[in-house]
Amino acid sequence: MSSDFPAYAPTEEHELLRRTVRELADAKIAPFAAEVDEQARFPQEALDALRENDLQAVHVPEAYGGNGADALATVIVIEEVARACGSSSLIPAVNKLGTVPVLLSGSEELKKRYLAPVAQGEAMFSYALSEAEAGSDAAGMKTRAVRDGDHYVLNGAKMWITNAGVSEYYTVMAVTDASAGARGISAFVVEKADPGVSFGPKERKLGIKGSPTRQVILEDVRIPASRMIGAEGTGFKTALATLDHTRITIAAQALGLAQGALDYAIGYVKERKQFGKAIGDFQGVQFMIADMAMRLEAARQLTYHAAIKSERAMHGETVPDLTFVSSACKCLASDVAMDVTTDAVQLLGGYGYTSDFPVERMMRDAKITQIYEGTNQIQRMVMARQLLK
């Protein structure tokens, strides 16, 4: 292992970053979280606060105008924002998701053109892989990109695209050779301003209501061939490699949601009195709190472990078990988040079931972490294949 990266535990710099982001999130993001959820509106306050503190895309390398923060630092930022507001945590998370294909496979021209605006807070970057009939079976996509001289013309519709309509840039996967299966898929950068790009209505969702989820519709979208990410036919390989890194950011979001719910529940059980004493004095409640914290810490350690491996891989090291650990941490952390947030609602009793308290929102937000960037059933298939190959 390179000595440039922490062997396992967060450094003092990581912990300082955590305190900084937590203070910012508590002051500038948490106060608007309930309103953002209730109104299903984009958390502009969070974007403004993150931009002002240069936290909207900390992963972008210094060479392209970014902070050059490592993968663990990025996880900590997302985790601490999610502790306050799940929707807001998708700003740094999706900026990473959209840009990792460019970082992994893009030309130097693409990196310089598209990473700097994201690093500087001038643009956001989304990822467009899924389609209505190509979710878990992403290789079954129908969106086409046809070569026309020194351009490609794209037609199709991408579905479930996070922050669609708000982001300026999109990594779009499209079929360039229908006869080649997954090897016939290529990746492109599409801009919101490109003629022929439009968006479907916002999905009405159970949770993360402040992050718009919409179709990205491509109708004869003509873009320069120079906007292809990597060589023709390598898009699906890039997509899979990207997910090895970004499943970890979903684990981070799940950790934050679980931590927010646990923190609130602990405060509540210390104050809420029944039968003449705080309910936190009852052993049954204590066991619930202990189990919540234990499972959360296990998921956190696996996620941080995966983040270190992701950082090594981004710097060119061969990390054979990255696919396994990234799937494992995403699967474990999201399952834990669902359990912990549900238990937090239980601990608050009837209050927990009302929108006057934040834990029901956290429970609703947590559910998506078991579904997007690969359902947890798919994660278990990925892990099993890694173990059995």
Q: Would residue 5 count as lying in a domain? A: no
Same domain assignment for residues 26 and 159: no
What mean pLDDT, rounded, does the chain reach?
Answer: 97
CATH code for position 159? 2.40.110.10
Task: Answer with the one of 119, 142, 172 that is the final residue of a domain.
Answer: 119
| Residue 1, domain member (yes or no) | no
Among candidate residues 232, 258, 287, the one where a domain is terminated: 232
* Domain assignment present for 324: yes
5, pLDDT greater than 80:
no
The answer on 299 and 316 residing in a single domain is: yes
Residue 91 lies in a domain: yes
Residue 263: name the closest of 344, 187, 321, 169 by CA: 344
**Two tokens at 307?**
């983040």
The pLDDT tens digits for 267-276 are 999 999 999 9
Q: What is the model's pLDDT at position 387?
A: 98
pLDDT value, residue 9: 80
SS3 180: helix
CA distance 7 to 5: 6
Let me know whether 378 and 268 are in one domain. Answer: yes
Query: What are the catalytic residues?
Result: 373
334: phi then psi, degrees, rounded to nearest 5: -70, -40
Query: Is 170 within 8 Å of 124 (Cβ atoms)?
Result: no
Q: Do 65 and 115 form a contact (C-beta atoms < 8 A)?
A: yes
Q: Are 379 and 244 contained in the same domain?
A: yes
Q: What is the pLDDT of residues 288-305, one digit of tens each?
A: 999 999 999 999 999 999
265 and 344 assigned to the same domain: yes
243 in the same domain as 217: no
Residue-level pLDDT at 65: 96
Question: What's the sign of the alpha-carbon dihedral 93, 95, 101, 107?
Answer: negative
Query: What is the rounded CA–CA span in Å between residue 253 and residue 336?
Result: 12
Query: What type of residue sits at position 370?
Result: Q
Q: Domain for residue 140, yes or no?
A: yes
Question: Which of 232, 247, 266 is at the close of a domain?
Answer: 232
pLDDT exceeds 70 at position 7: no
Beta-strand pair 228-229/185-191: antiparallel
**Integer CA distances (angstroms), 301 to 9, 245, 248, 343, in order:** 9, 16, 12, 21
Question: Which percentage of the chain shows pLDDT scores above 70?
Answer: 98
Query: For residue range 16-35, what is the model confidence (pLDDT) as tens digits?
Result: 999 999 999 999 999 999 99
AA letter at 320: P
The boundaries of the domain holding residue 267 are 236-388
The whole-number average pLDDT for the span 341-359 is 98
Helix or strand or coil: residue 85? coil
Residue 6 has pLDDT above 80, yes or no: no
Check whether residue 286 and residue 347 sit in a common domain. yes
Q: What is the mean pLDDT of residues 203-232?
A: 98
pLDDT over 50 at 277, yes or no: yes
Residue 2 in this model has a pLDDT that exceeds 50 = no
Residues 22 and 62 in one domain: yes
Residues 291 and 383 in one domain: yes
Domain count, the chain: 3
pLDDT in tens, 71-87: 999 999 999 999 999 99
Same domain, 56 and 100: yes
78 domain residue, yes or no: yes
Q: How confident is the model at residue 4 (pLDDT cuts 50, 70, 90)?
A: low
| CATH number of the domain to which 332 belongs | 1.20.140.10
**Rounded mean pLDDT of 316-342?**
98
43: domain CATH number is 1.10.540.10
d(CA 387, CA 324): 8
Average pLDDT over residues 30-47: 98
- Tell whether 219 and 112 lie within a shared domain: no
Residue 4 included in any domain: no
Q: Does any domain span residue 7?
A: no
Same domain, 311 and 337: yes
